[in-house]
Amino acid sequence: MGPPVGHIYVSQLDDEKCFACELADDSMSQLESTPSFKRRDIVIFSITARVEDGDLAYVKSKDGDEFRQVFLEEEDTVRFHPLNGRYRERTVHRFEIRNMCKLRARFHCL
């Protein structure tokens, strides 16, 4: 994911505080399961929606930005789970997270 390059309007969303990203890798793709996200898919995240355990989210931490399934662990840690098993999970302390934004919509690249 890179810096913003433009604006899109999605009429189905009732949340004006959203942003979209184009996926740059296959870390969230699964061969025989859903959800699955391919490289170049467009994903839309809400800045205001609350991220809960198991949600798919855009996470900004001191180590960078990533799109992962988020698991809120005990002892103030968060586990970032890529859907693609070829990528490794990682766990960070909550104080290392700058922001988490919940997935609201996606557009598949054909």
Q: What is the pLDDT of residues 46-95, one digit of tens each?
A: 999 999 999 999 999 988 899 999 999 988 999 999 999 999 999 999 99
> What are the residue ranges spanned by the domains of the chain?
18-107
Examine the pLDDT at 1 and tell me if it is beyond 70.
no
Q: Class assignment of domain 18-107?
A: mainly beta
Name the one residue in this structure whose structure tokens are 């467009």.
Answer: 42
First to last CA, the chain: 19
The pTM of the full predicted model, rounded to 2 decimals, is: 0.85
pLDDT for the residue 32: 81
